[in-house]
Structure 1
Amino acid sequence: MNWCPAMQHEPSLFARLARRISLVLGIGAALLVSAAWYYAETAADKAYDRLLVGAALQMAESLSVERGALSARLPTSAFELLGLAERDRIFYRVIDTNGKTVTGYDDLQSPAPSDGARDAVSISEGIYKGEAVRIARATRVLADPSVTGHVYVIVAQTNEARSALTRELTLRATILVVVMSFLAFAGAMLAIRYALQPVERLGAAVRRRDPHDLTPVSVGVPRELDPFVSSINHFMGRLNERVDLLQRFIADAAHQIRTPLTALSAQIDLLGHDKLDKTGRQHFERVQQRTGELARLTNQLLSHAMVIHRADSIQLEPISLVDVARRAYRAAIPITVDPDIVISFEAPDDRPFVLGDAVSLREAIVNVIDNALRHGTDQRLEVRVRSDALDAYVEVEDDGPGIPPEGWEKATQRFATSKSHEGSSGLGFAIAQEVVNAHGGTLGFRARDEKSFTVILTLPLYKGPAK
């Protein structure tokens, strides 16, 4: 079957869904990773800001007034608290009520507090010595008679530790998101594969159907596939109507042609050729021969149409192959057969049964016997029925030259002749092959020697209870 290029390169529904789901999961994973980075950064800032504010408050509480001057004895615990971030460097500055540096780095600055927030602890970003730092400022109010006013403690810390914590938390979250996305994708693919099973079952059911089977497709599918199945059944119904019309036309045409052909053959026989000269007799014999061939071909066309119709509509049942072959033998051997031809029929006592259509099988055997009588038999024709453990056989053997092995395949083609020197051709072997193929069998040939040729119809043996 030829498919158009668009159908060959069209991606499958599974591939489309896989790409779209992977795109959605990728966008979702990117958003989750971005959110994880944001929350990791916030969590790291909160954790280290608490350490920074705690150290600044401890330093502010350690300030005292001695001998009328501000004294700064910074506790070691504050530095130990900041020392938990081993990678970072610490900068500090203590400013008295006059705005002078008591201790620490003179150039460490912090935004001035607003008037309403002098006693608050504030956190801000900044740059010190070319590095990004986090700055905490703690304010303490002194009410000593000699020193009165606000003093400030400014503590700055670099961001290496909190950046490392942000990266670690983000990495862990990213690994979790990637694993969950992979599991979600795998689960989605399994769900899609399971959900698409009805489509695969429908396709398999259509592929397994016999080319002659145009009955509606009856496969359980979800509601979403009902329009598709309905369209298939509607198309097959229309195709079945067309095929029925074509077969009816062939049958009617063959029937209508057969009646005048029979009358024509009778009229030709009544004419006789005794009064004709040699040339006239030759023409008469040729007309008589062609009329016979035309009548035979018409009968074969009618038989072929009948066989095709029964293959689509008849239920197979167990039948005796001996009975079918005997009826075909009686129908195929004409009363006017040459008395010099020895014709015999052999059958076993235990009648082999096959699962089939008796009418179609009889037509197949009749066509094989008729072909042997017309084109093969010289003095002997034998029809045999036999069986073995698996198959049953109908053999038609004649003493003619038969068909050479290189012509066996061509002999089963429609309107092919088995003898190159004859102009006649027909449907005999083609009809027989179609029938045995419909019954799960084969049509074969066997040449024993130069004086014997056999056509063999092989059918599967029915081993169930016979009717």
Structure 2
Amino acid sequence: MTRNDSSLFTRLAVLVSLVLCVGATALAIAAWYYARAAADDAYDRVLKGAALQMADSLTVDGGEMIVDLPASAFELLGLAERDRLFYRIVDPEGKTLTGYADLANGSDLSAVRSEPIVQNGSYSGDPVRIVVVARAFSDPALSGWAHVIVAQTTEARRALAAELTTRAVLLVLIMSVMALAGTALAIRYALRPVWRLGAALNSRDSQDLKPIEVDMPREMRPFVGSINHFMGRLERRVSQLERFIADAAHQIRTPLTALTAQVDLLGQDKLGAGARQHLERVQQRAEELARLTNQLLSHAMVIHRADAVRLAPVNLVDIARRAFRAAVPITLSPDIIVSFEADESDPKVLGDAVSLREAIVNVIDNALRHGTLSRLEVKVSSEAGNAVIEVEDDGPGIPREAWESVTQRFATPKQNGGTAGLGFSIAAEVASAHGGTLGFRERNERGFVVVLKLPLLTGEGD
């Protein structure tokens, strides 16, 4: 039994999508780190440039440090409109000359010498980026290192980092969607040999068990080889089964016919009452054995033809008439009235003539053996898009509660027991193979009816 698993295309697409999602997530994280570093680098350059301009504006006059902050430095920092600016100028003695005296308070300024130092910090509860620049003075009246501390809030750089990240993520998403679409097309193209193999198998006749000859990729050759190996084994088994059925039909029917003939030659007038009773039982059992053997072989033939024979348009009236002639024996009692009737619609169906004939023969045979008392009627007609074959007898019929069971193998329609058979089972299987049904109609004042319905061939009227 096959499970209803997802398709190979879906599984590949899902796996590729997962890989793309992981890759896109990694790229988005990397883009965020890169954008933040790029924003910090850009704004740090501006911050250091402003601090260096402030440091260059410091002069010494008469032993005192003069602070003349250039406007260009503030204009440069003012490009970040969202941010606030803080600064502090410290002379060589460590005194704050101007600015915010508590900015970077407690920092070791002596560590700053040749290169500006940029670091993160906080001021007035806000995160800031701080740059410290040192400048050496060697005036006789004032010597040492003066420091310029400039701090700027980080709103603008965060906004720039978010914008860069958003653009990068959008680009990654677009590329991922394009990659997924391209992958889907590639998977579809790569799976074409699988669909080509399936089409080659579906288009084959059911009797064609020759090896498959289809151009396949190297990866699929073991699969095709396994199919060819299996088909070879199946062909050998089917051939053995066909030979067995043919041999059985010949080897079993011949001795049964001879046995029946030999039993009939025994003169009952020369036998006692007990012997005649035993002889009658032998005759009855021989007939039942011959009938059951014929039904078993017929059932095997019907099953084989259902898978091996292509259906073709057939005239149901001709088939039913031949079945009627074959099923009604010449030795039938003259007290039984049999009739065959077909309307003018001349219904045609798409079917196998041999299997349909066997089905109708078995239905008529069941009626003669288990139902008919004095009348048997076979009618062929069409109604509501179906071709209908009705076999009616004046017997007791089959109880409604037994209708389902009598279509099973080795079930008997006789209410008082009797020999079980395959008649209705064969007819039901043939009807099902042709898209039809085998049903019953309850006994009325005329009799009991077995109804075989088959879909009319397209274009045929009711």
TM range (shorter): 0.7 to 0.9
Q: Say if 1:291 and 1:267 are closer, same or farther in 2 by CA, change over 3 A.
A: same
Q: Note if 1:157 corresponds to 2:151.
A: yes
User: Retained in 2: the 8 A contact 1:110–1:137?
Assistant: no
What are the residue-to-residue correspondences of 1:177-192 with 2, within 5 Å?
Answer: 179-180=173-174, 183=177, 187=181
Q: Is the 8 A contact 1:45 1:162 kept in 2?
A: no
Task: Pick the aligned partner of 1:406 from 381, 401, 410.
Answer: 401
**Alignment partner of 1:293 is 2:312:** no
1:362-418 CA distance string (max 9 Å, x none): 222221212211111111111222223622222221111121121111111111111
Q: Secondary structure at the match of 1:449?
A: coil
- The residue number in structure 2 matching 1:390 is 385
Shift of 1:27: 2.9
Q: Which amino acid aligns with 1:155?
A: I
Alignment of 1:90 with 2:86, yes or no, is yes
Are the equivalent residues in 1 in contact too, given 2:53–2:70 (CA < 8 A)? yes
Look up the match of 2:237.
Answer: 242
**8 Å contact from structure 2 (residues 355, 430) kept in 1:** yes
**TM-score, structure 2 normalization:** 0.80
The equivalent of 2:248 in structure 1 is 253
Residues 347-426 of structure 1 mapped to structure 2, 5 A cutoff: 347-388=342-383, 390-426=385-421
* Aligned twin of 2:28: 33
Map 1:207-226; keep pairs closer than 5 Å.
223=217
8 Å CA contact 2:63–2:142 kept in 1: the answer is no
Long gaps (5+) in structure 2:
none
Q: 1:110, CA displacement in angstroms? A: 5.5
2:441 equivalent among 421, 424, 446: 446
Confirm or deny: 8 A CA contact 2:51 2:132 kept in the other structure: yes
Q: CA deviation at 1:230?
A: 5.2
TM-superposition CA deviations, 1:322-373 (whole Å, max 9, x none)? 2222221221221111111111111234532222222222222221212211
1:125 maps to which of 119, 123, 137: 119
Structure 1 window deviating more from structure 2 (352-361 vs 20-29): it is 20-29
TM-superposed CA distance for 1:238, in Å, is: 3.0
State the 1:167 CA deviation.
Answer: 5.5
Q: CA deviation at 1:156?
A: 3.0
Secondary structure of the corresponding residue to residue 93 of structure 1: strand
Q: How big is the shift at 1:24?
A: 2.3
SS at match of 1:274: helix
Aligned residue in 2 for 1:118 = none
Matched, 1:24 2:19: yes
CA RMSD of aligned residues (A): 4.3
Distance 1:309 1:86 in 2: 87
**1:396 maps to amino acid:** V
Question: How far apart in 1 are the matches of 2:213 and 2:320?
Answer: 39
Would the aligned equivalents of 2:38 and 2:161 in 1 still touch at CA under 8 Å?
no
Do the aligned partners of residues 200 and 384 (structure 1) sit closer, same or farther apart at CA in structure 2, a change above 3 Å counting? farther
Q: CA deviation at 1:270?
A: 0.5
Which letter does structure 2 place at the counterpart of 1:113? Answer: R
Where do 5+ consecutive residues of structure 1 fail to align? 115-120
Per-residue CA deviation, residues 445-465 of structure 1 (Å, 9 max, x unaligned), is 223416511222222222559
Q: Secondary structure at the match of 1:410?
A: helix
Instruction: State the distance in 1 between where 2:310 and 2:162 align.
Output: 74
2:90 corresponds to 1:111: no
Output one character per residue of 1:7-35: Cα deviation in whole Å (capped at 9) or x when no partner: 68x77656654653354234323322332
Contact kept, 8 Å, 1:401 with 1:453, in 2: the verdict is yes
| Partner Cα separation in structure 2 for residue 185 and residue 353 of structure 1 | 56
Letter in 2 for 1:423: G
> Contact 2:122 / 2:128 at 8 angstroms: preserved in 1?
yes
1:315 partnered with 2:310: yes
**Superimposed CA distance per residue, residues 94-115 of structure 1 (whole angstroms, 9 cap, x where no aligned partner):** 546xx7758245966163435x
User: What amino acid is aligned across from residue 328 of structure 2 in structure 1?
Assistant: I
Matched to 2:119, the amino acid is E
Secondary structure of the corresponding residue to residue 270 of structure 2: coil
CA distance in 1, matches of 2:398, 2:22: 72
Q: Which residue of 1 aligns with 2:170?
A: 176
Aligned to 2:442, the other structure's residue is in SS state strand
Name the CA distance, whole Å, in 2 between partners of 1:427 and 1:209. 33
Q: Give the AA of the match of 2:252.
A: I
Query: Partner letter of residue 260 of structure 2?
Result: S
Whether the aligned pair in 1 keeps the contact of 2:128 and 2:153 (CA below 8 Å) is: yes
Corresponding residue for residue 55 of structure 1: 50
Q: Partners of 1:103 and 1:234 in 2: how far apart? A: 97
Moved more, 24-33 or 419-428: 24-33
* Superposed CA offset, 1:98-147 (max 9, x none): x7758245966163435xxxxxx6343376889874324264888x9x78
- The CA distance in 2 between the partners of 1:453 and 1:218, in whole Å, is 52
Question: Is contact 1:63–1:73 with CA below 8 Å preserved after alignment?
Answer: yes
1:200-237 deviations in Å (ceiling 9; x for gaps):
96999899999x95756999997465654553464355
Distance 1:303 1:327 in 2: 16
Partners of 1:128 and 1:361 in 2: CA distance = 96
Question: Structure 1 residues 37 and 462 mapped into 2: Cα distance closer, same or farther (>3 Å)?
Answer: closer
SS at match of 2:268: coil
Structure 1 distance, partners of 2:343, 2:200, is: 41
Corresponding residue of 1:117: none
What amino acid is the match of 2:441?
Answer: R
Structure 1 contact 94–102 (Cα < 8 Å) conserved: yes
How far is 1:163 from its partner?
5.8
